Amino acid sequence: MKRCFCVISRFIYLSTERNKGASLVSNVRHDHTRAAAAKTLSDFRWEESKSSDSQKWSRLEHNGPYFAPEYDPLPASVPFYYDGQLLKLSPATEEIATFYAKMLDHEYTSKEAFQNNFFTDWREEMTSEERKQIKTLSKCDFSHMHKHFLEKSEERKNMTKEEKQVLKEESSRLVEQYGFCVLDGHREKIGNFKLEPPGLFRGRGEHPKMGKLKKRIQPEHVAINCSQDAKIPEAPAGHRWKRVQHDNTVTWLASWLENIHGRPKYIMLNPSSKLKGEKDWQKYETARQLKVCVNAIRKQYKRDWTSREMKSRQRGVAIYFIDKLALRAGNEKDEESADTVGCCSLRVEHISLHRRLDGLEHVVEFDFLGKDSIRYYNKVPVEKQVFKNLKLFIKHKDPEDDLFDRITTVNLNKALNECMPGLTAKVFRTFNASTTLQDQLNKLTAEDMTVEEKILSYNRANRAVAILCNHQRAAPKTFEKSMQLLQEKIQKKKEQIEEAKRELKAAKKAHRDAPSDRCRKLVEKKEKLVQRLCEQLKKLQLQETDREENKVIALGTSKLNYLDPRITVAWCKKHNVPIEKIYNKTQRDKFTWAIHMTDESFQF
């Protein structure tokens, strides 16, 4: 498998290198396409790939991370008052105050947890003098700071073109210096070369740590990873790195521990890199592998529904949910984070069982907060045996008890792995998402459609996946307004059509009454106008449908993470839709591998 990808990756490099003849590129592609076609799924050796996969590179060199600029103290003209008294804060204290002052408009500064966390952490950073004086948050007056930053941002908006140009050049110099690394002889883009600046932590949902201080990262906190023979990046003057290591079994260039949860964070490559692309390709191949054995797995979990062992029954139902509803695995979480769940961590309170609902039998009603505190709400008719089992699982339990108390993500994944090497809960999401896209595209695309209609079909297929995976977004702030505008446009267009039709009729009549070349030409002209207007109307109406259906659905996540790009590429080729209409520049870069290795016959 590994070897197979090497062919592809060599091709990608070839094709992205300048001054290479097009004929060479197409030759490579041709060869590869055949090689890939000849390769069947059973040829993949997962065990083998596992050992060889552990080495991620042989040579790695980079310039280290870019540190956030030092704090620039406020001008003396921006006062801070405590309890009505002017107070000059020390730079460190002032800096943290500005984090809060910048957020005053946000709803969450009104939350008690946010205020308490912020104030506790702020006081910890104060000088003892300041700590003695500043005892109550509500007595702090940040309003002048707040105003100062509003003005600053206004200033920034009103910069001249030239000033903006200067900034732009500065930032591209930064990218030039820090934004790339050299991995195995190839210059690769780094994903996030800038270290996160200090600020206030705002978790998602009801996060118990909201408002806590995210501290400034110092070089002494940062570990550097590069190859032994590489030039070690220089630490900022007067500083040294936490450590420099040469571990080629990992892909990160730099890492540090964030202070909120004490979890590691990393600087890694951009998705367009070979390293990431290879991994991505592997992911989809695993998902395609599941396609081959999913029937057997389904049979197995259905058998488990009637197992004598409670654990097996629970696992059978859990995998059924993961498969049917594309739920996430649902690892255990600690108390120090928002209360969200996935499949294995579902609690009794998250489901309601309805013997009969809306004319359907055995309906399970799900209502819980999933990843990022996004609500999952769904009413699903299930097999009778699943229903029976669920009743059994919740018997004698309290609402806050685990629904699946005998299983964990670890043993669930272990069981899955025994069915198919490499299989874990999340593979089902990839598999179901990509399968859905393929099915929907096949169903929704017709040859006689215009390109616009085909794109609408694609978006609908994409949307079906997003709904399956529960990818949501906040409705755009301007949604209502822009929708209304669009409707007015449509109305206007309709009126134009009426008008044009009347004119056409009149022209026809004139031509009938007194045929002439001039009259005939006028009729033709009017006919064309009507036709053109109708086409425009259709386009607008398509746009309206698309936008309405998309109001709270986020398509990006599935497009980027769940849909095998080869499905899209093949579809575009087959139906003559330019790939640029579906993938923007970033997406094309990320999916370069797929764009080059896929021909129109590919099916997931």
Partner DNA sequence: CACGAGACTTGCCTGGACGAAC
Partner DNA sequence: GTTCGTCCAGGCAAGTCTCGTG
Q: Which residues are catalytic, by number?
A: 562
Within 13 Å and on the Cβ side, how many CA atoms surround 27? 6
Q: Which of residues 15-54 bind DNA (CB under 7 A)?
A: 50
Query: Count of residues binding DNA (CB under 7 A)?
Result: 85
Selected binder of DNA within 44, 57, 149, 562 (CB under 7 A): 562
- What residues contact residue 108 under an 8 Å CB cut-off, 6+ apart? 114, 202, 210, 211
Residue type, 325: L
Give the x/- contact pattern for DNA in 350-369, rule: CB under 7 A.
--------------------
When the beta carbons of 100 and 387 are compared against DNA, the nearer one is 100
Q: Which of residues 367-386 bind DNA (CB under 7 A)?
A: 370-374
Q: Which of residues 296-325 bind DNA (CB under 7 A)?
A: none
When the beta carbons of 276 and 313 are compared against DNA, the nearer one is 276
Q: Which of residues 479-498 bind DNA (CB under 7 A)?
A: 481-482, 485
Rounded CA-CA distance 165/85 in Å is 42
The span from the first CA to the last CA of the chain, in angstroms, equals 17
Using the rule CB under 7 A, give the single segment among 1-9, 229-237, 292-300, 420-428 that binds DNA: 420-428
Question: In angstroms, what is the minimal distance from the CB of 436 to DNA?
Answer: 14
Question: In angstroms, what is the minimal distance from the CB of 288 to DNA?
Answer: 14
Using the rule CB under 7 A, give the single segment among 3-11, 351-359, 426-434, 504-512 that binds DNA: 426-434
Selected binder of DNA within 22, 76, 474, 514 (CB under 7 A): 474
Selected binder of DNA within 34, 45, 88, 164 (CB under 7 A): 164
When the beta carbons of 214 and 397 are compared against DNA, the nearer one is 214
Residue type, 193: F
Give the x/- contact pattern for DNA in 238-277, rule: CB under 7 A.
---------x-xxxx--x-xx-x-xxx-x-x-------x-
Using the rule CB under 7 A, give the single segment among 113-121, 188-196, 449-457, 501-509 that binds DNA: 188-196
Q: E-strand spans in 70-151?
A: 81-82, 85-86, 140-141
Tokens (6 digits) for 411: 């043993």
Q: Which of residues 67-126 bind DNA (CB under 7 A)?
A: none
Report residue 265: phi and psi, to 5°.
-125, 160
Is residue 350 within 8 A of residue 341, CB to CB? The reply is yes
Question: In angstroms, what is the minimal distance from the CB of 482 to DNA?
Answer: 4
When the beta carbons of 338 and 537 are compared against DNA, the nearer one is 338
Using the rule CB under 7 A, give the single segment among 24-32, 78-86, 189-197, 565-573 that binds DNA: 189-197
When the beta carbons of 415 and 507 are compared against DNA, the nearer one is 415
Query: What's the farthest any 2 CA atoms get from each other in the chain?
Result: 100
Q: Count other C-beta atoms under 10 Å from residue 157's C-beta.
A: 7
Tokens (6 digits) for 68: 């956030």
Question: In angstroms, what is the minimal distance from the CB of 472 to DNA?
Answer: 5
Using the rule CB under 7 A, give the single segment among 115-123, 199-207, 350-358, 387-395 that binds DNA: 199-207
Q: Is 340 in the site for DNA (CB under 7 A)?
A: yes
Q: Count other C-beta atoms under 10 Å from residue 378's C-beta.
A: 13
Tokens (6 digits) for 429: 């999401």
Q: Is 2 in the site for DNA (CB under 7 A)?
A: no
Using the rule CB under 7 A, give the single segment among 36-44, 395-403, 410-418, 498-506 that binds DNA: 410-418
Alpha helices by DSSP H, 514-590: 517-549, 556-561, 565-574, 585-590
Selected binder of DNA within 115, 337, 445, 536 (CB under 7 A): 337
Pairing mode of beta strands 199-200, 213-214: antiparallel
Q: Is 515 in the site for DNA (CB under 7 A)?
A: no
Selected binder of DNA within 221, 554, 574, 599 (CB under 7 A): 554
When the beta carbons of 32 and 406 are compared against DNA, the nearer one is 406
Selected binder of DNA within 218, 353, 561, 574 (CB under 7 A): 561
Q: Which of residues 209-238 bind DNA (CB under 7 A)?
A: 214
Question: In angstroms, what is the minimal distance from the CB of 600 to DNA?
Answer: 24
When the beta carbons of 329 and 348 are compared against DNA, the nearer one is 329
Selected binder of DNA within 279, 350, 379, 494 (CB under 7 A): 279
Per-residue 3-state assignment (H helix, E strand, C coil) for 293-355: HHHHHHHHHHHHCCCCCHHHHHHHHHHHHHHHHCCCCCCCCCCCCCCCCCCCCCEHHHEEEEE
Question: In angstroms, what is the minimal distance from the CB of 213 to DNA?
Answer: 11
Helix or strand holding residue 484 (H, E): helix 479-513
Selected binder of DNA within 111, 204, 221, 350 (CB under 7 A): 204
Q: Is 160 in the site for DNA (CB under 7 A)?
A: no
Selected binder of DNA within 478, 513, 514, 517 (CB under 7 A): 478
6: nearest Cα among 32, 43, 42, 39: 32
465: nearest Cα among 547, 381, 550, 364: 550
Burial-class residue 399 by CB neighbours within 10 Å (0-12, 13-18, 19+): exposed
Burial-class residue 283 by CB neighbours within 10 Å (0-12, 13-18, 19+): middle
Q: Is 208 in the site for DNA (CB under 7 A)?
A: no
Question: In angstroms, what is the minimal distance from the CB of 542 to DNA?
Answer: 13
Q: Which of residues 443-472 bind DNA (CB under 7 A)?
A: 469-472
CA distances from 42 to 31, 279, 420 (A): 21, 19, 12
Burial-class residue 212 by CB neighbours within 10 Å (0-12, 13-18, 19+): buried
Rounded CA-CA distance 423/184 in Å is 30
Question: In angstroms, what is the minimal distance from the CB of 98 to DNA?
Answer: 15
